[in-house]
Structure 1
Amino acid sequence: MATGSRSARWSAPWPWWLLGAAVLALGAGPALVEALDVPAWQRNVDLEVYRAAGVSLLNGRPLYSFLTDVPNLLPFTYPPFAALVALPLALVPFGAAQVLWAALQVSLVVVICAVSARPLLVRCRHAAPVVLAALASAACWMLPVSDGLFFGQVGILLTACCLLDNAVRGRWPRGLLVGLAAALKLTPGLFLIHFWLAGRWRAALVALASAAGATLGAAVVLPQESVEYWGRALFDTERIGSTAGTYNGSIVGLSSRLGPDTAAGSLLWGALAVAVAVAVYGLWVAARAARAGQHVAAVAVVGVLTVLLSPVAWLHHLVWVVPGMLALVGDARSRVRVAAAVAVWALFSTPLDLPWRGARMLYDPDVPQAWARLLQSSYTVGAVLLVVALHLLVVRPARRGRGSLHGGPADGAPVAADVERARAGA
C-alpha cells in the first residue's frame, strides 16, 4: 500500500482545519447528543460493564458473576485481558469515564474515515479536513456508530485497531494490533485466518503471538478469572442474549426470526449452510482484496464476516460498514461506486432505523410479513450485499488494474493523474 509516498499524503493550511473542526462539531455533535441525551440508566450501559469489570478487579469481587445495577443487570462477557485494559476506567467517576470514552470514540471515527477515505482526501487537497469532517459526521449518523456511542461500546476501537494494522504502515509490527484486538474480544481473531489466506504469514504469526501473549499474561495475573472464563463463561450463551431478537445481526439471528418453532431444526441447518458459503466467499474476496492492495476493502469484508458468522452479534458491531462504504467511494470518480456508497449509508442510517421499523411492522396486519421480516433483517442482508459490492466494484477492477498497469493503484495510492498534478505543483 502506497502510503509512504509524498504524493499519497494530504495536508492543508490551518484555516481549513478550523473549518473542518466546525463542520465536525455541527455534524457529529447532534448525533452525539441524540445518542447520549437519554435517562442515566440507559446511557453507556456497556461502558458501565467495562468499568464494573475494572472495579471488580480492584475490589476483589467475582468478575463473571457480578451484575451491573438495576434495571440493566448486565454481566461482563469479555476475556480477562479486557478487564485488565478496563482498569483505568475504574479509577475515574463514571461521568468522567463517559465523557472521555465519547471523545475517544468520535476521535477514532475520524481516524477510521481518514484511513478509509485517503484516495478521496488526497484528491481534495486543501479541502481535505472539511471533507473528512463531513464523512465522519455522516458516519456518526449510521446506526452501528450511533448505537456504539449510545451503549459506550468497544466496536469502534476494535475497528480502528484492525484498520490501522492492515491499511497503515505503522512503526509497530504488522499484526500486533489485530492480536491485541482478538485478546480483547475473540471475533477479530478471524483476521488471523485472513492474514494467512492473503499470504501475509509474518503478520499472522505476529497477531497470533500478541493475542497469545496478552491472554497468557492475563492468565498469570488473573488465574482464577481465566479458568472461569475459558472453562465456563465463554460457553454460557444465556449471558449474551436471545438469538432471535431484532438486534442480532448475524446469519443465525436472521434464520431464528424466519419461521415457526417447528421449523427450527431445518432453519438451523440452512443457516449453517449459508454461513459456510458466506465465510468461504467473504474470505476469498478479502484475500484477493489484500493481494490487490485494497486493504481497506479487505478489512471491511473480514470485519463484516465477524458479525455475520457469530451466533449472536449486535447491530452496533457493524461499525465495519464505515470503511466498507468509504472503500466503495474510493476517489469518487466512479458514479456507480459513489451511488453504491450512498445506498450503504442510507441503509444503515439512524433516521431510517430499518430493523426496528420492520420489527414494528410485524404487528401491522396490513403489512406483508415477508416485507416486515426483510426490513427487520435488512442489516444482515445489507452486510452480505456490501461484501458483494466490494468484490464487484472495488476488488475486481483493482486486480485488472494491477495486471494492466504493472501493479495498479492500491487504496491510499493516488491515480496517475494525481501524481502528475502533484509533480507539476498543481
Structure 2
Amino acid sequence: MAKQKGLSVFVSDTGVIAAGYKHLLTTHGIPFEEEGHTEAKIVSAREVVKSPGIPNDVAIIGQLLQHNVPIIDEIEFAARYAKGKIIAITGSNGKSTTVHLTYHLLKRAGFHVALAGNMGHSFAKCMAENIYDYYVLELSSFQLEGIKNFKADIACLLNITPDHLNRYNHAIAAYTKAKLNILRNMCRSDHFIYNNDDAIINQQLNQLAISPARYPISILTGAQPPPVIYSSNGAFHFRFNQRSFSINHHLTHLPGPHNQYNTMAAIAIATLTGVSLDIIAAALPTFHGLPHRMEWCGAPQNIDCYNDSKATNVAAAQVALLSFNRPITWIIGGKDKGNDYTILLPIVKKSVKAIICLGENNTTIIKAFYSLGFPIQETDNMGSAVDIALSMALPGEVILLSPACTSFDLFENFEDRGNQFREKIKLCIAQSKK
C-alpha cells in the first residue's frame, strides 16, 4: 500500500522472508533484507511501520527511539487512507467470532464491507486492493499500542483477562491500557460497545473521560436499571436510539455464555450501521461459528466432540467449560504461558469427569487438578488423546479440546492442533460405521 501511495519503501526482517512474500516484494519493486537489520538504513527512515509482534524492548526499537524516528503500527498507517467507516473490535477473547459475525451480518445486508486486522488479512493490503464503505477490524493489544491518530467510528471491547503479560512486564494495568487505546480520538458522534460485567473494564472506564455514546452489555440477571443491551429469559434485548427490540437465543448456533456477549455485540454493531432487524434475524441462523472455536466435530459413540483449539489461555478455556451442563472429558495442555489454573478449580470440580493432558510437560496441570481425585492421563499424541477420551466418556456426554495453552510444543499452530482433533473424530465416526 505504501508503494501504491508513492512512498519509498524498504522491508527489513531478522528472520527468513517466506517465498510468497519475497515474490510479492520483487514483483512490486520493493527492496528488502532478511536475517538481520541494517541499522544505519533503518534509522535513516522518515517513519517505521513496525510489525505488532516485535517487542518494544528489542535493540533496533531502542535505536529508532534514540534517533527520534516515528514508529507506528500498520493499522495506524492504513487508517490514514481509509474513506469508509471503521468498526474496531478488541478483547482478550471472542474477537474473531465477533468480528466474523459482524462481517456476516453486514455482508448479508448487502453492505460493501471488508474484514481485516489480526486474523491474517492486513488492513493495508485490504486498502490497496479495494475501497470499502465499512472496515471490520479485529485488533490485538499489540496492534493498539502503536496507534496515534487512528479513530474508530464504532469500537467494541469484549473483555479483559490476563494474557500476553510477558509483553507488559506482567502488569495487567499496562495490558489494559493498550486495549483501551481503541477509544483514542473517538468523538461524541461515535459509538462504544463494551462488556458491563467485566470488573476490569468498569474499573478503568470509571477513571476515563469517554466521548462516544456508550452501549454496555450484560448477561447478569437483576441489574437495575437493565443495561442498554442484555440477555434474559431466552432472548437478547436492545434499548438504544429511541428503539427497543428483542431477538430469541434460538436464532444463533453459538454455544456458551461468552458467545452471548459476542452475539449481542455483533447485533448492536449491525443495528448501529443500519442493518434491519429482519435481515439480522434471517442472517443469525446461517452463521455457524469459526473453526477451532467451540466447533462441533461430530458425535462418535453419541459423545459430542468440540474443537476449541483456539483457547490458548485459561480464560478462554474457562468459558468453554462453562458452556455445557453435561459431564466433560477435557483435553488440555500445550506450551504453558505461566498459567494459573487454580481459577478453574470450581468449574472443573463441577463439570469435568476426566482430564487428558496433551503436552510435552504436563506437570503444572497435573499438580493443579490432582486433588480433585478424578482420572488424569497424559499423552503426546492427538490420536491417543481422543482414543483415551472416548474410552472414558459416556453417550450423551462431551469431549472438549480446550487446551488453555499455546500449541507450539507438539503442533505447528492451534489450527494444526484443531485439524488433527477434527480428523481423528471423523476417522472414529467412519470406523464406527463399518
State the TM-score, normalized to the length of structure 1. Answer: 0.28
Bigger strand fraction: 2
> Which of 1 and 2 has higher RCO (CA within 8 Å, sep 6+)?
1
State the TM-score, normalized to the length of structure 2. Answer: 0.27
